């Protein structure tokens, strides 16, 4: 798929519609982590250097009609302005503002309110999405897609709008794709993938697609209990997706035939209740008591996972090894993160909860080869799926 870059589009003096991913965590009006905003700066600065005016479109969360107040992009406009050291105007209106966008002068930036406040943005009805994007298209002359975290969504401002206008991808998308290509085209070996998080169903596609490409897959988190259950082990009250057990069995058989090592924990940190104060005990993974649930991989497994990761030259990691939000159950995730920081090769943290976990546990972004800004988007890319937002930019 050939994707145009900023340098391949005539941008001089243009009014640009820029789709960014500014979906940052905000608590009580305060931005807790501004990395997605920072990741968008490179493209914005390049556009400013080309004397463009910029209409920025972005989303925040998944608003329902009664939730709007908590999901306004107003604090993001302020932060963006601070980071750029230039004024960023904010428009509460999204529709019917052509006059406002027409009057933007060179170097002026206007951020529109959360595009997902409009149901048409995410509508399943193509005509509704097209009606919205037709309106948005009147606000600029060219379209730059840079919201990597949203490229797996067939949304009006990501897909239809891009197709309607002369377009190119911004720097963030190009950087993310460069990293993902390293994971899929001739990766240095051994190549290991570490998967965790709550649900197997989210990761089945990735495991299936990467089986042909990797040397080892280490599995932890809540998803591991479906694997342990598929091996016939008692998993007590742990998370499980019973309907996926046949699929998991099939994957394990395929892995065996391909000579791919699937590593499962040999010990588990269990507790009676799902809460931060729960008493944590360590048991063998085939001795989980019926009345307890597994909330982290155990120390022996964490050491083993770390050793195996340490031998790899390429590692992709998505999903915490345990409930990292609770101190008692964060050690597995910490060990894996630590091992990733030391590998002699490329380590990629696949956004979402894994990125939140490494930051919460005190690691810095520079400790890793790359931390993706798009958890879902990078997973879907690695599943081998076509991402609408990239198709539209090709
Ligand atoms: P995901 O969004 O699928 O990557 O899942 C991330 C979430 O999985 C985090 O909030 C973790 O607390 C949770 N998680 C990890 N391990 C477990 C576990 N053993 N049981 C329940 N939840 C878990």
Q: What would the pLDDT profile of 101-111 be if each residue is shown by its tens digit?
A: 999 999 999 99
Q: Delimit the domains of the chain by residue range.
A: 6-175, 186-382
> Out of 3.40.50.1260, 3.40.50.300, 2.60.15.10, 1.10.510.10, which CATH number does the structure's domain 186-382 have?
3.40.50.1260
Residue 1: pLDDT band by 50, 70, 90 thresholds?
Answer: confident
Separation of CA 320 and ligand 1 centre (Å): 6
Question: 230-243, pLDDT tens digit by residue?
Answer: 999 999 999 999 99
Alpha carbon 346 to chain centroid, angstroms: 18
Cβ burial 122-141 (10 Å sphere, 16+ → b, else e) = bbeeeebbbebbebbbebbb
Residue with tokens 């145009």: 4
- pLDDT higher than 90, residue 65: no
Tell me the β-bridge partners of 145.
19, 169
Round the average pLDDT of the chain to a whole number and report it. Answer: 96
Q: How confident is the model at residue 343 (pLDDT cuts 50, 70, 90)?
A: very high
- Smallest CA separation from ligand 1 atom 4, residue: 197
For ligand 1, say whether the CB of 320 is within 6 Å of any of its atoms: yes
State how far Cα 184 lies from the chain centre.
17
Check pocket membership of 298 for ligand 1, CB cut-off 6 A: no
Class of the 6-175 domain?
alpha beta
Query: What is the 262 CA–ligand 1 centroid distance (Å)?
Result: 19
Q: How many helices (H) and strands (E) does the chain have?
A: 15, 17
Give residue 135 CA to ligand 1 midpoint distance, Å: 40
For residue 144, what are the β-bridge partners? 18, 168
Of 197, 269, 294, which is best to mutate to test ligand 1, by the most ligand atoms within 8 angstroms of its C-beta? 197
Instruction: Tell me, in angstroms, the distance from the centre of ligand 1 to residue 220's CA.
Output: 9
Supply the pTM of this predicted model. Answer: 0.93
Q: Are the CB atoms for 162 and 145 separated by under 8 Å?
A: yes
Structure token pair of residue 138: 């009147």
C-alpha span between 358 and 337 (Å, rounded): 7
Cis link prior to 124 (omega < 30° from 0)? no
Q: How confident is the model at residue 264 (pLDDT cuts 50, 70, 90)?
A: very high
Look-up of token digits 């048409």:
120
Report the alpha-carbon distance of residue 17 to residue 102 in Å, rounded: 12
CB distance 202 to ligand 1 below 6 Å: yes
Model confidence pLDDT, tens digit, residues 297-337: 999 999 999 999 999 999 999 999 999 999 999 999 999 99
Annotated catalytic residues are 36, 199, 352, 376
Closest ligand 1 atom number to CA of residue 320: 15
d(Cα 224, Cα 297) in Å, to the nearest integer?
9
97: closest CA among 40, 140, 53, 66?
A: 140
Fold match between domain 6-175 and domain 186-382: yes
The answer to whether the CB of 320 falls within 8 A of the CB of 361 is no
Ligand 1 within 6 A of 350 CB?
no
C-alpha of 220 from chain center: 19
């Amino acid at each position: 798929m050939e994707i145009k870059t900023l340098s391949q589009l005539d941008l001089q003096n243009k009014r640009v519609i820029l789709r960014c991913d500014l979906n940052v965590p905000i608590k009580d009006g305060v931005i807790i982590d501004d990395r997605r905003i920072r990741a968008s700066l490179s493209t914005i600065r390049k556009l400013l250097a080309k004397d463009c005016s910029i209409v920025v479109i972005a989303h925040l969360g998944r608003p329902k009609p009664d939730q709007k107040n908590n999901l306004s992009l107003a604090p993001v406009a302020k932060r963006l302005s601070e980071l750029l050291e230039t004024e960023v105007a904010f428009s509460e209106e999204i529709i019917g503002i052509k006059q406002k966008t027409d009057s933007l002068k060179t170097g002026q930036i206007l951020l529109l309110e959360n595009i997902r406040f409009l149901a048409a943005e995410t509508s399943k009805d193509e005509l509704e999405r097209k009606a919205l994007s037709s309106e948005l298209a009147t606000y600029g002359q060219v379209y730059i897609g840079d919201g990597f975290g949203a490229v797996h969504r067939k949304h009006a401002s990501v897909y239809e709008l891009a197709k309607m206008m002369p377009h190119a991808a911004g720097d963030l998308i190009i950087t993310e794709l460069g990293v993902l290509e390293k994971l899929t085209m001739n990766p240095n070996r051994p190549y290991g993938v570490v998967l965790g998080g709550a649900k197997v169903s989210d990761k089945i596609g990735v495991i299936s697609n990467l089986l042909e490409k990797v040397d080892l897959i280490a599995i932890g988190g809540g998803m591991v209990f479906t694997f342990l259950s598929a091996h016939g082990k008692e998993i007590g009250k742990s998370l499980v997706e019973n309907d996926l057990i046949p699929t998991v069995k099939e994957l394990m058989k395929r892995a065996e035939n391909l000579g791919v090592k699937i590593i499962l924990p040999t010990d588990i940190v269990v507790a009676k209740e799902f809460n931060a104060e729960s008493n944590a005990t360590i048991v063998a993974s085939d001795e989980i008591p019926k009345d307890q649930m597994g909330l982290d991989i155990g120390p022996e497994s964490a050491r083993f996972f770390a050793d195996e990761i340490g031998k790899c030259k390429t590692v992709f990691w998505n999903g915490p090894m345990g409930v990292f939000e609770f101190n008692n159950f964060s050690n597995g995730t910490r060990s894996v993160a630590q091992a990733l920081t030391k590998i002699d090769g490329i380590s990629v943290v696949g956004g979402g909860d894994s990125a939140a976990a490494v930051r919460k546990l005190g690691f810095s972004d520079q400790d890793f080869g790359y931390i993706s800004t798009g958890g879902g988007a990078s997973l879907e890319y690695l599943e081998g799926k076509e991402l609408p937002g990239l198709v539209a930019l090709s």
